[in-house]
Amino acid sequence: MKAIVGLGNPGKKYLENRHNIGFRVIDKLAAENRLRLKRSLSQKAWLGEFNSESHVFLLAKPVSFMNNSGISVARILARYKVSPQNLLVVYDDADLDLGLMRLRKSGSSAGHKGIASVLEVLGRKDISRLRIGIGRFRQGDLADYVLSDFSQAEKEKLDMVISRAAIASLEWFKEKKEKTIKVEL
């Protein structure tokens, strides 16, 4: 089994926030595969499974809030017996322009508290990740920025970014090749 975990914050208040782009990629994958995610209290996540090209994929949206995502991810891996090598974490990156994505096999958190929680709880840095640019943070408070909604102009481009991120998530398990992806907006 392969697991794709999108990071975000639960609740309507955060639904359209930049910080929730990981959740939106999971929602896109679920919709494309006619899958309805179900709430799991024990895993602290919304979960669903689908088959694609002889692989079983588990989609997950932790509901433990961004900064505690590692708790949910650890429970999911244990419950579904998913090895860390078969995990891809999808999340926002305020250091990348909208439309830019980076697939990596490992690395530090670079200050992102959601992936920092995952790395800390799992006790390793070799966790594959898809970092999705949400627009480069320039000034002010970073927390306010990531918890803000996309502008109207950005929203018009967001569907293309989310669609490409969904494709990249599935491709990762075929190629396992680190790369930067630029969506032409």
pLDDT band at residue 131, thresholds of 50, 70 and 90? very high
Tens of pLDDT, residues 84-115: 999 999 999 999 999 999 999 999 999 999 99
How many structural domains are present in the chain?
1
Whether the Cβ atoms of residue 24 and residue 92 lie closer than 8 Å to each other: no
pLDDT (0 to 100) of residue 40: 94
- What's this model's pTM, rounded to 2 decimal places? 0.96
Give the domain range for residue 151.
Answer: 2-182
- Residue numbers annotated as active site: 19
Whether the Cβ atoms of residue 37 and residue 61 lie closer than 8 Å to each other: yes
CATH of the domain at 62: 3.40.50.1470
CA distances from 163 to 21, 22, 183 (A): 11, 12, 10
Residue 41 DSSP one-character state: T
Tens of pLDDT, residues 58-87: 999 999 999 999 999 999 999 999 999 999
pLDDT (0 to 100) of residue 4: 98
Q: Retrieve residue 173's tokens.
A: 């398990």
52 pLDDT higher than 80? yes
The arithmetic mean of pLDDT across residues 18-30, rounded, is: 97
Give exposure, 134-159, as e/b (b: 16+ Cβ within 10 Å): bbebeeeeeeebbbeebeeebeebbe
